[in-house]
Structure 1
Amino acid sequence: MKTATIKDVAKEAGVSISVVSYVMNNNPNVSISKETREKVLRAAKKLNYTPNSIARSMRTKKSMIIGLATFWDISDSVFTDILKGVDSVAGKYGYSVTYCNITNSFNSNKITELYSQRQIDGVILLLHVDPAISFNEIEFINNIKSSKIPAVVINGNTEDPDISYVYIDYYGTSYTAVNYLYKLGHRNFCYMLPDEIELNGKQALRRINGYKDALKNLKLTDSGLYFDREAICDAINLLNSFSPAERPTAVIVNKTRYAAYLLRTFGEHGIKVPDDISVIACNDQNIAEFLTPPLTTIKVPTYAIGQKSADILFEILQGKSLNIKLKLSNEVVERSSCKSLQA
């Protein structure tokens, strides 16, 4: 059976070959009516037409692929949500997304090779705010720039003036948590820190600073009660030592996984959440809804971050010179671990 060509689709749809090309490549620079687009897609489906990606790449000098390079564990919901967001935008432009694993000793050579070999047209770099000691982010980004690879950075710990960034707002997670609880009538708080291995990292420090600044801006007194997983029982004793007027009525927790330990220990000590004390975590992990009680959290808009970073990259691929530094707003995911104290 003869393989259908672009000419066959054009004849079947009653349009020019150029129109078929614009539709099949999802060209954002050409306006095609909905009726014509649907006519072309019906014709292509009827004839089982599949564009020749190799020929298209040779003709356009584009791979129709973008890279997503990251340290992130691919099973982590942050990575999967961002990938879904990137892919949703890439698909609108007729692009696919390929994954590039960055190891701790990784340099940019792999990405520059992919780009020089026309295997990718650009790259989104999903980086950690607390990188491995062996990873030099500045050098890495400079190599990407010197190779003139269109790129957008998600997160990271740099702010290169020539690169666009979409940051994860760790500071805003704890700041939002305090303000949410304040609206519920809470005025006295305490804070559960991460484990020692994370404590001095930028992510943890930004959350602590967001917590402190929120208290300050609301003119609230810091209880001074900061504790980690190893000191939960000591914190419970300290909570009981506060006067009723000063006793914290809510705990802000650095991450959901630490909140899971807190909820369990509270339960073992007969402390009811949220009747006796409210608990909120500064990130939203899959286990949150399955805890007892289901945990109220602050959700980083990872899917939207993926979408926005891809939007920026495709604008760059269309020839725009962009230097955007962006943070998207976090949101509260209300479940059952926070109680209103409003009369």
Structure 2
Amino acid sequence: MRDVAKAAGVSVATVSYVINNNEKESIPEDTRIKVINAIEHLGYVPNLTARALTRKKSGLIGVFIMSSDLEHAPWRLQNYSQFISELVKMLYDHSYHVIIEYLGDSKKDLNIIRERALDAVFLVDINAEEVYDTASMFKVPIIIVDNFIEDTIFHKVLIDYKSAIDEGIKILQCHNPYIIVDSENSKSIIERLYDENNCFKDNIYVVRHLDSFYKFLKDKKQSKFIIFNEFLAVLAKEHIDTENAVAICISGNDYLLEAYKNKIYFNNKRKAKVSVDIILDYINKRYHENKFTFIEPGKR
């Protein structure tokens, strides 16, 4: 750190403030840039162990994603790739490193991760039972992404399914379109949001196997559809009239939706930013009274 301070022409304390993003100290922007340039020039890497000792934090955040059904729905691996990429970049900007773990049927890897003393955890697209099993292993702030659990212990960040569906209904001018999703979590969220409207429960189709999905589309070919997930929309386009469908872009791969005139978008960068802001609040003991944060859709 002394070498960085000498190269930047500043004090060691100033280098420390910049590295640790100390908000209590007002560092001029040109000074901060000098320090960053010196760090890059010298190839300086702050010692995470030393930083953890001074902060009483590890500087590590876990991101756990459900993976047990990827064999039957391989496209789901791509669902969160953009969101997690943005999450990692934003957390790194706040001097956090990320451990990503795909959860299957075994929890043995989590026992190893637990020894790393994480500062916080994201649980992404994990069903309720797994949420409680996993959460019981970590006594740190936990943010649940894309699951509707009515438990005030956890803060939830979800895409606003209801706004997207309501907008899709307006576009299609149809009150009971079929809603196609790729997970039981998504189905459960929609059912809870439309708790008093039983027709939605009957019209939600979860894609579990491609053969049955194609048969469903063939049988309902004259119907109207709201399709969550670009990959499912691509699979469906040869089997339906895309004029009678709305494709919901949730994974950031909107270039796949050229066949669809009707599209609704969710911004993964905004979703990541909101998620990071919330988890940093909880790490710093700034707790939220409202435990649900919905990411609204947009248009292009």
Conserved? CA contact 1:68–1:123, under 8 Å? yes
Give the corresponding residue for 2:173. 187
**2:65–2:103 contact (8 Å) kept in structure 1:** yes
**1:68: how far off?**
0.7
AA at the equivalent of 1:125:
L
Matches within 5 A, 1:1-343: 6-72=1-67, 76-106=77-107, 110=110, 114-118=113-117, 120-128=118-126, 131=127, 135-141=129-135, 143-144=136-137, 147-179=138-170, 181=171, 187-188=173-174, 191-194=177-180, 201=184, 203-204=186-187, 207=190, 229-236=214-221, 251-255=224-228, 256-257=230-231, 259-260=233-234, 262-266=236-240, 274=243, 278-284=244-250, 289-290=255-256, 293-294=259-260, 296-323=262-289, 324-333=291-300
CA offsets, 1:245-280, max 9 Å, x none? xxx8xx2233455544553235xxxx7x54xxx421
Q: Is the 8 A contact 2:148 2:156 kept in 1?
A: no
Using a 3 Å threshold, how does the CA distance of structure 1 residues 213 and 33 change in structure 2: closer, same or farther? farther
- Give the unaligned 5+ runs of structure 1: 1-5, 217-221, 240-247, 334-343
Q: 1:213 offset after TM fit, Å? A: 9.0
| Cross-structure match for 2:209 | none
- Contact 2:82/2:252 (8 A) holds in 1: no
Closer/same/farther in 2, CA of residues 82 and 258 from structure 1, 3 Å limit: closer
Deviations 1:210-259 (A, max 9, x none): 79999x9xxxxx9x9999742545545xx5xxxxxxxx8xx223345554
Measured after TM superposition, the shift of residue 67 of structure 1 is: 1.1
Q: Which amino acid aligns with 2:85?
A: K
| TM-score under structure 2 length normalisation | 0.75
Q: Distance in 1 between matches of 2:56 and 2:204?
A: 57
Q: Tell me, which stretches of 5 or more residues in structure 2 are unaligned?
A: 206-212
Q: Which has the larger radius of gyration?
A: 1
Distance, in Å, in 2 between the alignment partners of 1:35 and 1:286 is: 35
> Taking structure 1 as the reference length, what is the TM-score of the superposition?
0.67
Q: Relative to 1, partners in 2 of residues 1:287 and 1:127: Cα closer, same or farther, differing over 3 Å?
A: closer
